[in-house]
């Protein structure tokens, strides 16, 4: 009889190539797939060349240009920054030399890696996927393990299809309660990150469970798993269910027909045992949560939109007090200020967290028939070319354009400002992204994370505001 086991432990055991002598040592883990980008891969390819190695399984890798490419409405192979052009050109050469499939900026499937992989059906329950990006945790929404790795690990993975891996502890976050009207998956995960802290899940693989997760759409689950890394989790998981199976049916790279039926029979076994042991369990009821907004320079520095900028003096932790004071100084804020009193300069809808079609529909529901404030520059960057195409077929692009948003091409864009989509020093941005670190959107830029709906509301009003006070004018 098999011992009770968590879903995480089951998948790790299945993929273990070599077990260590001692329990605290690394195992050798087989990796099913990897996705590469132009920013974190160059040194890995250089290392492989210098060692005269080949890529062990080229077909297990997909390469996507997303971090540094221009998102200008008129596609171009060149950027205004020479360093970006060099990165893209070198990436194209590396992929060609090592026979790795590449989605360049003109490819019909180009987009942000964590949007492209799922929409093609390349993320399947039970797989382990590693990539040179920390938000690879997104793939846990499908019952697969996804985690980010550094450049040296990318080289090791390309050369061997394995990685040395230190097993994590298991944490369960059980989410119950019916979310109030106007609450999104982004609000739920931001509330969780705030409650458990930026390091609350460090050293753990987090499995999200509960009725709120069961009712959530697949794209909502991707948002939750995407931002789990912001509370320290290296792995986020949600057990696959019928919603996952339906989402994957018909995806171009997913199993088809009888193979899909066989796959589903296996996927149905991918559940934590009822009596599986989790080293830590957290129960969260979301019936009273509100739309969330960050005020500081870490995703856990967040409060409900109806709240106020907190006072560091009320913190009992000296280290936290110091961090809060630094954040307030950087953000140009004073304790006690109402969030809704903060005016913004930029509004941005995009990123691997919130640039899927559901996100664009939700924002368009708020924007329909309205105009953004005159002092605001606003842009929307669809998560992929496929998302962009669907949005245009539904007329969503016209809603954004009529409201005053720039309708851009796909890419990471203003999430991390590696191209020319940058916030000016001292300016304040309301984005649907995942990180609000110092300088994340440009030198001395000020970032307030929120949901796409909240971004739309802020763009219309010109300041942070509660989207629940703006009745949607349209429904898709």
| Per-residue pLDDT at 24 | 76
Query: Which of 291, 433, 448, 294 lies closest to 359 in space, CA to CA?
Result: 433
Domain 7-281: CATH superfamily, name plus number: Aconitase, domain 3 (3.30.499.10)
Which residue reads 């559940």 in tokens? Answer: 271
Q: What is the pLDDT of residues 55-106, one digit of tens each?
A: 999 999 999 999 999 999 987 666 566 778 889 999 999 999 999 999 999 9
As a whole number of angstroms, the distance between CA 451 and CA 446 comes to 17
Which residue reads 């842009």 in tokens? Answer: 379
| Per-residue pLDDT at 476 | 47
Class of domain 302-469: alpha beta
pTM: 0.96
The reply to whether domains 7-281 and 302-469 share a CATH topology is yes
Domain ranges of the chain: 7-281, 302-469
User: 225 among the known binding-site residues?
Assistant: no
User: 415 among the known binding-site residues?
Assistant: yes
The neighbouring-strand residues paired with 406 are: 379
Contact 159, 52 (CB under 8 A): no
As a whole number of angstroms, the distance between CA 67 and CA 104 comes to 12
Q: Where are the alpha helices (DSSP H) in 306-429?
A: 318-331, 357-367, 385-393, 396-403
Where the chain has pLDDT below 50, the residues are 476
| Per-residue pLDDT at 74 | 86
Contact 227, 196 (CB under 8 A): no
Contact 163, 130 (CB under 8 A): yes
User: 465 among the known binding-site residues?
Assistant: no
Contact 29, 15 (CB under 8 A): yes
Q: Under 8 Å CB-to-CB from 53, ≥6 apart: which residues?
A: 159
Backbone angles phi, psi at 223, to 5 degrees: -60, -45
Q: Where are the alpha helices (DSSP H) in 204-351?
A: 211-215, 218-227, 242-248, 257-267, 318-331
- How many residues appear in the chain? 476
Compute the CA torsion angle 472, 466, 287, 220 (nearest 10 deg). Answer: 60
Average pLDDT over the chain, rounded to whole?
96
């Amino acid at each position: 009889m098999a011992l009770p086991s968590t879903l995480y432990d089951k998948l790790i055991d299945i993929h273990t190539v070599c077990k260590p002598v001692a329990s605290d040592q690394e195992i050798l883990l087989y990796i099913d797939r990897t996705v590469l980008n132009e920013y974190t891969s160059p040194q890995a390819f250089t290392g492989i060349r210098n060692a005269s190695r080949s890529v062990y399984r080229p077909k297990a890798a997909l390469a996507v240009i997303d971090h540094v490419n221009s998102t200008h409405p008129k596609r171009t192979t060149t950027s205004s920054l020479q360093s970006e052009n060099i990165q893209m050109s070198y990436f194209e050469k590396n992929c060609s030399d090592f026979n790795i499939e590449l989605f360049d900026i003109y490819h019909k499937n180009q987009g942000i890696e964590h949007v492209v992989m799922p929409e093609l059906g390349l993320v399947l329950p039970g797989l382990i996927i590693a990539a040179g990006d920390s938000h690879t945790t997104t793939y846990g929404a499908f019952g697969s393990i996804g985690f980010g790795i550094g450049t040296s690990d990318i080289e090791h993975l390309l050369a061997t299809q394995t990685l040395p891996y230190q097993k994590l502890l298991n944490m369960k976050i059980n989410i119950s309660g019916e979310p109030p009207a106007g609450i999104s998956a982004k609000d739920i995960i931001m509330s969780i990150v705030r409650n458990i802290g930026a390091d609350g899940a460090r050293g753990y693989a987090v499995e999200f469970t509960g009725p709120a997760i069961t009712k959530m759409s697949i794209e909502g689950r991707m948002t939750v798993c995407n931002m789990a890394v912001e509370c320290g989790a290296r792995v986020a998981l949600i057990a696959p269910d019928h919603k996952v199976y339906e989402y994957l049916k018909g995806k171009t790279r997913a199993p088809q027909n009888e193979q899909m039926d066989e796959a589903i029979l296996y996927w149905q076994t991918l559940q934590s045992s009822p009596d599986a042991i989790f080293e830590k369990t957290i129960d969260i009821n979301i019936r009273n949560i509100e739309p969330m907004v960050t005020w500081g320079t870490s995703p856990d520095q967040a409060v409900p939109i109806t709240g106020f900028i907190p006072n560091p003096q009320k913190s009992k932790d000296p280290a936290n007090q110091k961090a809060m004071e630094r954040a307030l100084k950087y953000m140009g804020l004073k304790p006690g200020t109402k969030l809704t009193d903060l005016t913004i300069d930029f509004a941005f809808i995009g990123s691997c967290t919130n640039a899927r079609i559901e996100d664009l529909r939700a924002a368009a529901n708020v924007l329909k028939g309205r105009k953004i404030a005159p002092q605001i520059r606003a842009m929307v960057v669809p998560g992929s070319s496929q998302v962009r195409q669907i949005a245009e077929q539904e007329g969503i692009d016209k809603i954004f354009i009529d409201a005053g948003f720039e309708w851009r091409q796909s890419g990471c864009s203003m999430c991390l400002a590696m191209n020319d989509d940058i916030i000016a020093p001292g300016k304040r941005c309301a984005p649907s992204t995942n990180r609000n670190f110092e300088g994340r959107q440009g030198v001395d830029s000020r970032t307030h994370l929120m949901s796409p709906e909240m971004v739309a509301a802020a763009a219309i009003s010109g300041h942070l505001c509660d989207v629940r006070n703006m009745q949607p004018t349209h429904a898709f």
